[in-house]
Amino acid sequence: MNQRKILIVDDELSVRKSLEEWFREDGFQVETAEDGEAALKKLPAGPFDIMIIDLKMPGMDGMTLQKRIREVDRDATIIILTAYASVETAVEALKQGAFDYLTKPVDPDDLSHVVRNALRQKELTEENLRLKEKVSDLSLPTPIVGESPKMQHVLDLVRTVAETDSTVVIRGESGTGKELIARAIHAQSRRRYFPIVAVNCGSIPETLLESELFGHEKGAFTGAQYRRKGKIELAHGGTLFLDEIGDISPKMQIDLLRVIETKRFTRLGGDQEVTSDFRLVCATNKDLEKLVEEKAFREDLYYRINVFTIQLPPLRERTGDILPLARHFVQKYARAMAKPPMEFSPEAEAMLLAYRWPGNVRELENAVERAMVIGKGPAIQRADLPLALDGEVADPKDLSLEALEKEHIERVLAQHDGNVTQSAQVLGIDRATLYHKIKRYGLRR
């Protein structure tokens, strides 16, 4: 532990000496000064954890000294010491930012408490600053790799809208990185010190989604043994990110519209209104306008959420980003797998650029991760990539039926943004079977 430093400013030698001895016995490094001028000259010997300043001194008095110190150290912890006890002086000293006020002679216990409290407050202030910096670091979004003009335009839009509290709809194909953009908006907003709470509306059955979003009271339904806060409540102060908003049921659309308009709701089984101050960011890969036309999506909800739209380009429309993204994922998985970063062979690079990437960035990430697992040499080869160009069929002769099934499921999942219901439909199996296979093959959704 670093030795704490204290500056004692008092014109009486006996007081200086007494306090110096007291604080030295308490393990402090002590500096003393006989007046304000001497104290100011001692400041460079700091920083001091605490300064104890006598109020009445010849020349510069304690109040003036406090002001002068604050000019150079706004956060100095100052305790005023005086022989002239008066409420007015105490109030004035505190108004000017003194931590506390002690009247001479001081009860040892009072001195001990005030110093202890001052140190505790200083520690908490310092810890608060450290945590804020840490939160800032943590809330920095995953780096968005995108030098192409289309992605640069998207990032401009993110910066513009982040400063506002407007609702944002992020649109784009599966795997284009909609959640990443939502997190980037949150991280650059004034709400960044509060949580971003993400809900994938498409992956949760309607009955569960209601409880997930609004929470429930104890006994609201079978199994509701305790009160549970919903995601909307948990997003208080921060951002609520509703992914796959186009997939929610008509009833849920009504409930959601009401919450967005009033920011008030009740938990399931409850009658007490709860308020939540959140910023809404939605995402979808559906054609919302078409859904409105087909009456599958409420027009009033559409207009309520469609305040600011960010359209994410598919990866095939920003081919300039493919290789930088691929290298970024190599770095990411090299760290995760504790492997040296791998290069791409010229053939592999050509393959990456020629491929159409229907599963977009997510598919690219999966392909790179897989290549790094199976790749043997210092460079990733074309054969390490599980890709087939248009008109080209991946040669399955070396693959077992199981490996073929794994690859196919992986690809379908990537193309449907990890949505198990949609992927199961495409694969022609039920959800439980798909979950079983995902677990068996260790796939990521």
- Of the two residues 109 and 294, which places its CB atom closer to other proteins in the complex? 109
Nearest to 414 by CA among 402, 428, 427: 427
Nearest to 424 by CA among 113, 202, 233: 202
> What is the distance between the alpha carbons of residues 118 and 102, in angstroms, rounded to a whole number?
13
Least gap, CB of 16 to other proteins (angstroms): 9
In this chain, which of 108, 340, 391, 428 binds other proteins, going by CB under 8 A? 108
Q: Which stretch in 20-28, 69-77, 199-207, 234-242 sits in contact with other proteins by CB under 8 A?
A: 20-28
- Of the two residues 15 and 256, which places its CB atom closer to other proteins in the complex? 15
> Torsion over CA of 187, 333, 445 and 229, rounded to 10 degrees?
-40
Q: Does the footprint of other proteins cover residue 80 (CB under 8 A)?
A: no
Q: Which residue in this structure is represented by tokens 């069929």?
A: 393
Own/partner pairs, 122-125, CB within 8 angstroms, 24+ separation:
122/49, 122/50, 122/77, 125/75
In this chain, which of 104, 227, 286, 382 binds other proteins, going by CB under 8 A? 104
In this chain, which of 41, 67, 116, 264 binds other proteins, going by CB under 8 A? 116
Give Rg (Cα) of the chain. Answer: 31
Query: Are 201 and 243 within 8 A, CB to CB?
Result: yes
> What is the distance between the alpha carbons of residues 191 and 368, in angstroms, rounded to a whole number?
34
CA distances from 170 to 52, 104, 179, 287, 313 (A): 57, 65, 9, 12, 11
Q: Exposure pattern of 367-387 as b/e (b: 16+ CB <10 Å)?
A: bbbbbbeebeeeebbbebbbb
In this chain, which of 51, 115, 235, 434 binds other proteins, going by CB under 8 A? 115
Q: Does the footprint of other proteins cover residue 27 (CB under 8 A)?
A: yes
Least gap, CB of 45 to other proteins (angstroms): 19
Q: Which stretch in 101-109, 314-322, 351-359, 387-395 sits in contact with other proteins by CB under 8 A?
A: 101-109
Beta strand pairing call for 215-216 and 228-229? antiparallel
Burial class (CB in 10 A: 0-12, 13-18, 19+), 164: middle
Query: Are 178 and 419 within 8 A, CB to CB?
Result: no
Task: Determine which helix (DSSP H) or strand (DSSP E) holds 79, and give its type and residue range.
Answer: strand 78-82
Tally Cβ neighbours within 10 Å of residue 261. Answer: 11
Least gap, CB of 3 to other proteins (angstroms): 7
Q: Does the footprint of other proteins cover residue 59 (CB under 8 A)?
A: no
Q: Does the footprint of other proteins cover residue 14 (CB under 8 A)?
A: yes
Structure tokens that stand for 238 in this block: 């921060």
- Of the two residues 81 and 424, which places its CB atom closer to other proteins in the complex? 81
Q: Which stretch in 87-95, 105-113, 344-352, 395-403 sits in contact with other proteins by CB under 8 A?
A: 105-113
Q: Which stretch in 13-21, 36-44, 87-95, 218-226 sits in contact with other proteins by CB under 8 A?
A: 13-21
In this chain, which of 45, 47, 64, 105 binds other proteins, going by CB under 8 A? 105
- Of the two residues 26 and 392, which places its CB atom closer to other proteins in the complex? 26
Q: Which stretch in 21-29, 204-212, 330-338, 343-351 sits in contact with other proteins by CB under 8 A?
A: 21-29
In this chain, which of 72, 75, 86, 107 binds other proteins, going by CB under 8 A? 107
Query: Are 35 and 57 within 8 A, CB to CB?
Result: yes
Q: Which residue in this structure is represented by tokens 């990411």?
A: 332
Q: Does the footprint of other proteins cover residue 19 (CB under 8 A)?
A: yes
> What is the distance between the alpha carbons of residues 185 and 190, in angstroms, rounded to a whole number?
10
In this chain, which of 74, 88, 95, 109 binds other proteins, going by CB under 8 A? 109
Q: Does the footprint of other proteins cover residue 3 (CB under 8 A)?
A: yes
In this chain, which of 86, 112, 142, 262 binds other proteins, going by CB under 8 A? 112
Least gap, CB of 61 to other proteins (angstroms): 18
Least gap, CB of 5 to other proteins (angstroms): 11
Q: Does the footprint of other proteins cover residue 294 (CB under 8 A)?
A: no
Q: Does the footprint of other proteins cover residue 167 (CB under 8 A)?
A: no
Q: Does the footprint of other proteins cover residue 23 (CB under 8 A)?
A: yes
Least gap, CB of 48 to other proteins (angstroms): 15
Q: Does the footprint of other proteins cover residue 21 (CB under 8 A)?
A: yes
Task: Give the footprint of other proteins on this chain (CB under 8 A).
Answer: 1, 3-4, 10, 12, 14-15, 17-19, 21-28, 81, 104-109, 111-112, 115-116, 119
